[in-house]
């Protein structure tokens, strides 16, 4: 029988209902084999939306104008925020194996969260701008051990908090303040996973920066989705355990379809 005459009505071995999900690298390979293009498209939209933030911070750093830098960072963060929530939603749907066409689910999540994302996006943009401003002006400052530790801890804490904020924004209807509080609690509960999630971001973006332009070939494929996927993968377990995301989402979907 040729490949054009296969009998696709014959049932295959299938997967048992209670079969546990794969873990570790096998789980990452599994979701990539199924949702790679969804990740890539969400990443592309995110990178395009980050252009105003990158240009704003770069131009104001050249002028060493801290006030304009803060304004540009806030505006750039507000533009990028909804897309950060969008890629978080895409990856979380994949990890909980929720069916649906990517653009339909992505656009629904974007419309639902766009207004909420403006404030956390602005705050995130300001933090990014401030940290880059300090890093680029270290030569003009007296770098003490206290300043170095404060800067490093600030970067680690802000990155881990905002990773968890965007994850919460994609699936939970809470205020920004409550999401910050939840993020801090989750970091205290799972500090190793939080540090690992931040380390992934720093190592990835540092490698792209240090090895450019050669690294741009790989960046064309991995974009922003690869570090985001690995970070979300590390943080997903404590978020699910403490908030029962999948159970609550299943309940909401059942109520929606019942109506």
Q: What is the 3-state secondary structure (H, E, C) of the chain?
A: CCHHHCCCCCCCCCCCCCCCCCCHHHHHHHHHHHHHHHHHHHHHHHHHHCHHHHHHHHHHHHHCCHHHHHHHHHHHHHHHHHHHHHHHHHHHHHHCCCCCCHHHHHHHHHHHHHHHHHHHHHHHHHHHHHHHHHHHCHHHCCCCHHHHHHHHHHHHHHHHHHHHHHHHHHHCCCCHHHHHHHHHHHHHHCHHHHHHHHHHHHHHHHHHHHCCCCHHHHHHHHCCHHHHHHHHHHHHHHHHHHHCHHHHHHHHHHHHHHC
pLDDT along the chain (259 residues), means of 10: 44 54 84 94 96 88 82 94 95 87 92 93 91 75 72 85 92 90 92 93 92 92 95 91 75 56
The model's pTM is: 0.85
Residue spans per domain, the chain: 27-258
Model pLDDT, residue 33: 92
């Amino acid at each position: 029988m040729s490949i054009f005459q296969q009998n696709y009505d014959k049932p295959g071995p299938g997967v048992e209902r209670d079969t546990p999900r794969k873990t570790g690298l096998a789980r990452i390979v599994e979701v990539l084999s199924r949702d790679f293009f969804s990740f890539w498209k969400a990443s592309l939209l995110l990178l395009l939306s980050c252009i105003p933030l990158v240009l704003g911070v770069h131009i104001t750093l050249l002028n060493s104008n801290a006030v304009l830098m803060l304004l540009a960072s806030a505006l750039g963060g507000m533009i990028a925020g909804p897309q950060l929530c969008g890629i978080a939603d895409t990856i979380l749907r994949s990890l909980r194996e929720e069916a649906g066409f990517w653009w339909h689910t992505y656009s629904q999540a974007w419309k639902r969260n766009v207004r909420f994302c403006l404030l956390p996006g602005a705050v995130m943009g300001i933090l990014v701008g401030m940290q880059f401003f300090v890093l680029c002006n270290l030569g003009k400052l007296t770098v003490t051990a206290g300043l170095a530790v404060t800067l490093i801890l600030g970067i680690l804490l802000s990155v881990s908090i905002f990773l968890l904020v965007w994850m919460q924004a994609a699936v939970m209807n809470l205020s920004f303040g409550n999401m910050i509080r939840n993020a801090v609690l989750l970091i205290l509960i799972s500090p190793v996973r939080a540090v690992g999630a931040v380390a992934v971001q720093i190592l990835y973006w540092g490698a792209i920066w240090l090895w450019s332009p050669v690294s741009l070939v790989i960046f064309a494929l991995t974009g922003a989705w690869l570090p985001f996927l690995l970070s979300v993968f590390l943080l997903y377990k404590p978020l699910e355990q403490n908030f029962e995301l999948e159970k609550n989402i299943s309940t909401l979907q059942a109520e929606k379809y019942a109506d």
